[in-house]
Structure 1
Amino acid sequence: MNINQFQQELIEYATSIGIDKIGFTSASPFHELKNRLIRQQELEFASGFEEPDIEKRTQPELLLPEAESIISIAIAYPSKMKDAPLSQKGARRGIFARASWGMDYHTVLREKLAILELFILTHMPNARLRSMVDTGELSDRAVAERAGIGWSAKNCSIITPEFGSYVYLGEMITSIPFAPSEQMEEQCGDCRLCLDICPTGALIEGGQLNAQRCIAFITQTKTMVPDEFRAKIGNRIYGCDTCQTICPKNKGKANLHQQAFKPDPELVKPLLMPMLDMTNRIFKETYGHMSGAWRGKNPIQRNAIIALAHFKEVAAIPKLIELLENDLRPVIRGTAAWAIGKINTEEGLVALKKVEQTEEDKEVLDEIRKGLQFYTIEK
Structure 2
Amino acid sequence: MNIHDLQHAFVAYAMSIGIDKIGFTTAAPFTELKNRLRRQQELGYQSGFEESDIEKRTEPLQLLDGAESIVAIAVAYPSRMQNAPVGKKGARRGIFCRASWGIDYHTALRERLTLLSAWLKERVEGVHIESMVDTGALVDRAVAERAGIGWSGKNCAIITPEFGSYVYLGELVTNIPFEPDKPMEDECGDCRLCLDVCPTGALIEGGQLNAQRCIAFLTQTKGTLPDEFRTHIGNRLYGCDTCQTVCPKNKGKINWIHEEFKPDPELAKPLLTPLLKISNREFKDKFGHISGSWRGKKPIQRNAILALAHFKEEAAVPDLIALLEKDDRPVIRGTAAWALGRIGGKEAHSALFQAKGKESDEEVRIEIDKGLQFFQ
Shorter-chain TM-score range: over 0.9
In 1, Cα distance between equivalents of 2:332 and 2:164: 37
Range with greater deviation from structure 2 (199-208 or 293-302): 199-208
Letter of the 1:10 counterpart: F
In 2, Cα distance between equivalents of 1:4 and 1:145: 22
Taking the TM superposition and a 5 Å limit, the aligned residue runs for 1:267-346 are 267-346=267-346
Q: Which runs of 4+ in 1 moved over 6 A?
A: none
Contact 2:156 2:206 in 1 (8 A): no
1:375 is matched with 375
1:95 is matched with 95
What secondary structure sits across from 2:375 in the alignment?
helix
Q: Describe the superposition over 1:45-68 as per-residue Cα deviations: whole angstroms up to 9, x where unpaired.
A: 000000000000000000001100
What is the deviation of 1:204? 1.2
In 2, Cα distance between equivalents of 1:176 and 1:160: 26
Report how many aligned residue pairs link the two structures.
376
In 1, Cα distance between equivalents of 2:109 and 2:43: 32
Letter of the 1:167 counterpart: V
What secondary structure sits across from 1:320 in the alignment?
helix
Letter of the 1:323 counterpart: L
Taking the TM superposition and a 5 Å limit, the aligned residue runs for 1:88-167 are 88-167=88-167
Identity of aligned residues (%): 68
Letter of the 2:364 counterpart: V
Taking the TM superposition and a 5 Å limit, the aligned residue runs for 1:7-156 are 7-156=7-156
What secondary structure sits across from 1:122 in the alignment?
helix
2:218 is matched with 218
For structure 2, list consecutive stretches of 5 or more residues without a partner in the other structure. Answer: none
Contact 2:155 2:206 in 1 (8 A): no
What secondary structure sits across from 1:188 in the alignment?
coil
What is the deviation of 1:125? 3.1
Contact 2:195 2:206 in 1 (8 A): no
What secondary structure sits across from 1:223 in the alignment?
coil
What secondary structure sits across from 2:374 in the alignment?
helix
In 2, Cα distance between equivalents of 1:113 and 1:188: 30
In 2, Cα distance between equivalents of 1:162 and 1:182: 17
Q: Describe the superposition over 1:321-367 as per-residue Cα deviations: whole angstroms up to 9, x where unpaired.
A: 00000000000000000000000010000000001001011110000
What secondary structure sits across from 1:141 in the alignment?
helix
In 1, Cα distance between equivalents of 2:16 and 2:347: 60
In 1, Cα distance between equivalents of 2:216 and 2:318: 29
What secondary structure sits across from 1:233 in the alignment?
coil
What secondary structure sits across from 1:368 in the alignment?
helix
Range with greater deviation from structure 2 (38-47 or 121-130): 121-130
What secondary structure sits across from 1:108 in the alignment?
helix
What is the deviation of 1:206? 2.7
Letter of the 1:319 counterpart: D
In 2, Cα distance between equivalents of 1:374 and 1:168: 42
TM-score, length-scaled by structure 2:
1.00
What is the deviation of 1:275? 0.7
2:255 is matched with 255
In 1, Cα distance between equivalents of 2:331 and 2:262: 33
What secondary structure sits across from 1:173 in the alignment?
strand
What is the deviation of 1:205? 1.1
In 2, Cα distance between equivalents of 1:42 and 1:206: 18
RMSD: 0.4
TM-score, length-scaled by structure 1:
0.99
In 2, Cα distance between equivalents of 1:260 and 1:40: 35
Letter of the 1:67 counterpart: A
What is the deviation of 1:182? 1.2
Q: Describe the superposition over 1:253-295 as per-residue Cα deviations: whole angstroms up to 9, x where unpaired.
A: 0000111100000000000011111111110000000000000
1:266 is matched with 266
Letter of the 1:104 counterpart: D
Contact 2:127 2:174 in 1 (8 A): yes
Q: Describe the superposition over 1:71-112 as per-residue Cα deviations: whole angstroms up to 9, x where unpaired.
A: 000000000100000110000000000000000000000000
What secondary structure sits across from 2:358 in the alignment?
coil
